Chains A and B, each alone.
Chain A
Amino acid sequence: MAKNTFSSEFRNIDVDQYNEDNYKDDDGEPQSPPIGVDEATIVSLMNAGNHADALKLLLANAPVASKGKNEQAKDMALNLVLKVLLSVNKSQMDQIISSLDKTQLDVLMKYIYRGFERPSEGSSAILLIWHEKVYNAGGVGCIVRVLTDRKRV
Protein backbone atom coordinates (compact mmCIF):
# COMPACT_ATOMS: atom_id res chain seq x y z
CA MET A 1 0.00 0.00 0.00
CA ALA A 2 2.85 2.37 0.76
CA LYS A 3 4.26 1.88 -2.76
CA ASN A 4 1.48 3.30 -4.88
CA THR A 5 0.55 6.16 -2.57
CA PHE A 6 4.11 7.34 -2.11
CA SER A 7 3.38 10.72 -3.65
CA SER A 8 0.49 12.76 -2.33
CA GLU A 9 0.42 15.02 -5.38
CA PHE A 10 -3.02 13.72 -6.24
CA ARG A 11 -4.37 15.61 -3.27
CA ASN A 12 -3.46 18.90 -4.92
CA ILE A 13 -5.44 18.33 -8.11
CA ASP A 14 -8.65 20.30 -8.42
CA VAL A 15 -10.95 17.48 -9.51
CA ASP A 16 -13.88 19.81 -10.09
CA GLN A 17 -12.33 21.34 -13.20
CA TYR A 18 -12.73 18.03 -15.03
CA ASN A 19 -16.41 17.85 -14.26
CA GLU A 20 -18.41 17.84 -17.51
CA ASP A 21 -21.14 20.00 -16.08
CA ASN A 22 -18.84 22.91 -15.45
CA TYR A 23 -19.97 26.25 -16.82
CA LYS A 24 -17.78 27.45 -19.63
CA ASP A 25 -18.02 31.15 -20.24
CA ASP A 26 -17.11 31.38 -23.90
CA ASP A 27 -18.89 28.36 -25.46
CA GLY A 28 -16.46 28.57 -28.35
CA GLU A 29 -16.56 32.00 -29.88
CA PRO A 30 -14.58 31.92 -33.08
CA GLN A 31 -16.36 35.12 -33.94
CA SER A 32 -13.69 37.19 -35.63
CA PRO A 33 -13.46 40.48 -33.77
CA PRO A 34 -14.87 43.17 -36.02
CA ILE A 35 -12.01 45.53 -36.68
CA GLY A 36 -14.36 48.11 -35.34
CA VAL A 37 -14.65 51.55 -36.63
CA ASP A 38 -11.49 53.42 -37.26
CA GLU A 39 -10.90 56.68 -35.51
CA ALA A 40 -10.70 58.83 -38.61
CA THR A 41 -14.29 58.13 -39.68
CA ILE A 42 -15.56 58.94 -36.23
CA VAL A 43 -13.58 62.15 -35.96
CA SER A 44 -14.74 63.30 -39.37
CA LEU A 45 -18.36 62.56 -38.49
CA MET A 46 -18.02 64.44 -35.24
CA ASN A 47 -16.44 67.44 -36.91
CA ALA A 48 -19.32 67.46 -39.33
CA GLY A 49 -21.61 67.68 -36.29
CA ASN A 50 -23.15 64.34 -37.09
CA HIS A 51 -22.95 62.82 -33.62
CA ALA A 52 -25.97 60.58 -34.11
CA ASP A 53 -24.40 58.68 -36.99
CA ALA A 54 -21.04 58.43 -35.26
CA LEU A 55 -22.73 56.92 -32.23
CA LYS A 56 -24.81 54.50 -34.29
CA LEU A 57 -21.74 53.34 -36.17
CA LEU A 58 -19.88 52.72 -32.93
CA LEU A 59 -22.79 50.91 -31.31
CA ALA A 60 -23.35 48.69 -34.33
CA ASN A 61 -19.71 47.60 -34.39
CA ALA A 62 -19.20 47.31 -30.65
CA PRO A 63 -16.74 44.49 -29.82
CA VAL A 64 -18.83 42.55 -27.31
CA ALA A 65 -17.20 39.47 -25.83
CA SER A 66 -17.07 37.69 -22.50
CA LYS A 67 -14.85 39.06 -19.80
CA GLY A 68 -11.16 38.82 -20.59
CA LYS A 69 -11.50 38.43 -24.35
CA ASN A 70 -10.63 41.08 -26.85
CA GLU A 71 -9.81 43.65 -24.20
CA GLN A 72 -7.74 45.82 -26.48
CA ALA A 73 -10.45 46.30 -29.07
CA LYS A 74 -12.93 46.94 -26.30
CA ASP A 75 -10.76 49.66 -24.76
CA MET A 76 -10.25 51.39 -28.08
CA ALA A 77 -13.96 51.29 -28.82
CA LEU A 78 -14.69 52.60 -25.33
CA ASN A 79 -12.45 55.62 -25.83
CA LEU A 80 -14.17 56.50 -29.08
CA VAL A 81 -17.64 56.09 -27.64
CA LEU A 82 -16.79 58.23 -24.63
CA LYS A 83 -15.43 60.91 -26.92
CA VAL A 84 -18.68 61.01 -28.83
CA LEU A 85 -20.89 60.85 -25.72
CA LEU A 86 -19.08 63.67 -23.97
CA SER A 87 -19.24 65.96 -26.97
CA VAL A 88 -22.98 65.74 -27.50
CA ASN A 89 -24.95 68.51 -25.86
CA LYS A 90 -28.19 68.04 -23.97
CA SER A 91 -30.61 69.17 -26.64
CA GLN A 92 -29.35 66.58 -29.09
CA MET A 93 -29.42 63.71 -26.61
CA ASP A 94 -33.17 63.14 -26.74
CA GLN A 95 -33.13 63.10 -30.50
CA ILE A 96 -30.31 60.61 -30.69
CA ILE A 97 -31.84 58.29 -28.11
CA SER A 98 -35.21 58.22 -29.80
CA SER A 99 -33.54 57.12 -33.01
CA LEU A 100 -31.88 54.08 -31.41
CA ASP A 101 -33.51 50.67 -31.22
CA LYS A 102 -33.62 48.31 -28.23
CA THR A 103 -30.33 46.47 -28.79
CA GLN A 104 -28.47 49.70 -29.44
CA LEU A 105 -29.90 51.19 -26.24
CA ASP A 106 -28.58 48.20 -24.31
CA VAL A 107 -25.10 48.57 -25.77
CA LEU A 108 -25.21 52.31 -25.05
CA MET A 109 -26.12 51.63 -21.45
CA LYS A 110 -23.18 49.21 -21.19
CA TYR A 111 -20.88 51.93 -22.45
CA ILE A 112 -22.33 54.45 -20.00
CA TYR A 113 -21.53 52.17 -17.08
CA ARG A 114 -18.04 51.56 -18.39
CA GLY A 115 -17.63 55.29 -18.73
CA PHE A 116 -18.48 55.67 -15.05
CA GLU A 117 -15.54 53.46 -14.19
CA ARG A 118 -13.07 56.01 -15.38
CA PRO A 119 -14.33 59.41 -14.29
CA SER A 120 -12.53 62.42 -15.64
CA GLU A 121 -13.10 66.16 -15.44
CA GLY A 122 -16.86 66.62 -15.61
CA SER A 123 -17.45 63.38 -17.50
CA SER A 124 -19.59 61.80 -14.81
CA ALA A 125 -22.06 64.66 -14.82
CA ILE A 126 -22.75 64.25 -18.52
CA LEU A 127 -22.84 60.47 -18.20
CA LEU A 128 -25.41 60.82 -15.42
CA ILE A 129 -27.64 62.81 -17.74
CA TRP A 130 -27.16 60.18 -20.47
CA HIS A 131 -27.99 57.46 -17.95
CA GLU A 132 -31.21 59.19 -16.94
CA LYS A 133 -32.36 59.65 -20.52
CA VAL A 134 -31.49 56.14 -21.61
CA TYR A 135 -33.28 54.81 -18.52
CA ASN A 136 -36.38 56.77 -19.45
CA ALA A 137 -36.25 55.25 -22.90
CA GLY A 138 -35.17 51.71 -22.01
CA GLY A 139 -36.64 51.18 -18.55
CA VAL A 140 -35.36 48.90 -15.79
CA GLY A 141 -34.96 46.09 -18.32
CA CYS A 142 -32.16 47.99 -19.99
CA ILE A 143 -30.15 48.01 -16.75
CA VAL A 144 -30.98 44.37 -16.00
CA ARG A 145 -29.67 43.35 -19.42
CA VAL A 146 -26.43 45.19 -18.73
CA LEU A 147 -26.02 43.33 -15.44
CA THR A 148 -26.86 39.88 -16.72
CA ASP A 149 -25.33 39.80 -20.19
CA ARG A 150 -22.19 37.69 -20.19
CA LYS A 151 -20.95 39.47 -23.27
CA ARG A 152 -19.29 42.55 -21.84
CA VAL A 153 -18.58 45.58 -23.92
Chain B
Amino acid sequence: MPASATTYERIVYKNPSEHHYMKVCLEFQDPGVGLNAAQFKQLLISALKDLFGEVDAALPLDILTYEEKTLSAILRICSSGLVKLWSSLTLLGSYKGKKCAFRVIQVSPFLLALSGNSRELVL
Protein backbone atom coordinates (compact mmCIF):
# COMPACT_ATOMS: atom_id res chain seq x y z
CA MET B 1 0.00 0.00 0.00
CA PRO B 2 1.54 3.34 -0.93
CA ALA B 3 2.10 5.68 2.01
CA SER B 4 0.18 8.92 1.92
CA ALA B 5 2.24 11.92 1.05
CA THR B 6 3.24 13.77 4.19
CA THR B 7 4.45 17.29 4.32
CA TYR B 8 7.23 18.01 6.69
CA GLU B 9 9.45 20.87 7.48
CA ARG B 10 13.07 20.52 8.42
CA ILE B 11 14.69 23.32 10.41
CA VAL B 12 18.46 23.32 10.71
CA TYR B 13 20.20 25.56 13.24
CA LYS B 14 23.79 26.19 12.28
CA ASN B 15 24.74 28.19 15.33
CA PRO B 16 21.75 29.21 17.38
CA SER B 17 23.46 31.24 20.05
CA GLU B 18 24.58 34.76 19.32
CA HIS B 19 26.50 35.08 22.56
CA HIS B 20 29.38 33.17 24.06
CA TYR B 21 29.96 32.96 27.80
CA MET B 22 33.42 32.84 29.39
CA LYS B 23 34.39 32.09 32.96
CA VAL B 24 37.65 33.88 33.69
CA CYS B 25 39.82 34.53 36.69
CA LEU B 26 42.37 37.30 37.13
CA GLU B 27 45.61 36.44 38.90
CA PHE B 28 48.14 38.92 40.14
CA GLN B 29 51.78 38.17 40.73
CA ASP B 30 51.67 39.87 44.14
CA PRO B 31 48.52 39.14 46.10
CA GLY B 32 46.54 41.85 47.80
CA VAL B 33 45.30 43.83 44.81
CA GLY B 34 41.59 44.48 44.71
CA LEU B 35 39.38 45.67 41.88
CA ASN B 36 35.74 46.52 41.92
CA ALA B 37 33.42 45.61 39.06
CA ALA B 38 33.81 48.92 37.23
CA GLN B 39 37.61 48.74 37.32
CA PHE B 40 37.46 45.16 36.09
CA LYS B 41 35.33 46.16 33.11
CA GLN B 42 37.66 49.09 32.43
CA LEU B 43 40.56 46.63 32.38
CA LEU B 44 38.81 44.38 29.86
CA ILE B 45 37.93 47.28 27.58
CA SER B 46 41.46 48.68 27.72
CA ALA B 47 42.83 45.24 26.79
CA LEU B 48 40.55 45.14 23.74
CA LYS B 49 41.44 48.73 22.85
CA ASP B 50 45.19 48.04 23.01
CA LEU B 51 45.09 45.15 20.62
CA PHE B 52 42.15 45.83 18.35
CA GLY B 53 41.51 49.55 18.62
CA GLU B 54 38.49 51.68 19.37
CA VAL B 55 36.21 49.84 16.96
CA ASP B 56 36.51 46.55 18.83
CA ALA B 57 36.67 48.15 22.27
CA ALA B 58 33.02 48.96 21.62
CA LEU B 59 32.02 45.29 21.23
CA PRO B 60 28.95 44.48 23.36
CA LEU B 61 30.69 42.91 26.34
CA ASP B 62 28.88 42.26 29.62
CA ILE B 63 30.07 41.08 33.02
CA LEU B 64 27.28 38.88 34.29
CA THR B 65 28.77 38.07 37.70
CA TYR B 66 31.87 39.27 39.46
CA GLU B 67 33.42 38.16 42.74
CA GLU B 68 35.85 40.63 44.22
CA LYS B 69 37.49 38.18 46.63
CA THR B 70 38.54 35.62 44.04
CA LEU B 71 38.64 38.13 41.11
CA SER B 72 36.65 35.75 38.95
CA ALA B 73 33.87 36.70 36.59
CA ILE B 74 31.47 35.38 33.97
CA LEU B 75 31.58 37.42 30.76
CA ARG B 76 29.20 37.50 27.86
CA ILE B 77 30.30 38.54 24.40
CA CYS B 78 28.72 38.31 20.95
CA SER B 79 29.98 35.28 19.05
CA SER B 80 31.83 37.25 16.38
CA GLY B 81 33.93 38.93 19.06
CA LEU B 82 34.92 35.83 21.04
CA VAL B 83 38.26 35.31 19.30
CA LYS B 84 39.16 38.98 19.67
CA LEU B 85 38.30 39.07 23.37
CA TRP B 86 40.16 35.85 24.12
CA SER B 87 43.29 36.97 22.28
CA SER B 88 43.30 40.36 23.97
CA LEU B 89 42.89 38.71 27.40
CA THR B 90 45.82 36.45 26.56
CA LEU B 91 48.04 39.39 25.73
CA LEU B 92 47.13 41.54 28.72
CA GLY B 93 50.19 41.81 30.93
CA SER B 94 49.75 44.37 33.63
CA TYR B 95 47.29 46.52 35.51
CA LYS B 96 48.59 49.84 36.88
CA GLY B 97 52.13 48.59 36.74
CA LYS B 98 51.44 45.32 38.54
CA LYS B 99 51.89 42.10 36.63
CA CYS B 100 48.78 40.04 36.15
CA ALA B 101 47.34 37.32 33.93
CA PHE B 102 43.90 36.16 32.92
CA ARG B 103 43.10 32.48 33.35
CA VAL B 104 40.23 31.32 31.14
CA ILE B 105 38.48 28.52 33.00
CA GLN B 106 35.55 27.70 30.74
CA VAL B 107 34.00 28.91 27.49
CA SER B 108 30.61 27.87 26.20
CA PRO B 109 27.82 29.16 23.98
CA PHE B 110 25.32 28.16 26.66
CA LEU B 111 25.23 29.82 30.04
CA LEU B 112 23.90 26.71 31.73
CA ALA B 113 27.06 24.84 30.84
CA LEU B 114 29.10 27.16 33.03
CA SER B 115 27.28 26.08 36.16
CA GLY B 116 28.88 22.66 36.15
CA ASN B 117 32.25 21.43 35.02
CA SER B 118 32.90 17.77 34.45
CA ARG B 119 36.51 18.24 35.50
CA GLU B 120 35.42 19.22 38.98
CA LEU B 121 32.83 16.48 39.24
CA VAL B 122 33.05 14.60 42.51
CA LEU B 123 31.76 11.11 42.13
Report whether chain A binds chain B. no
Interface residue ranges, A against B (CB under 8 Å) = none
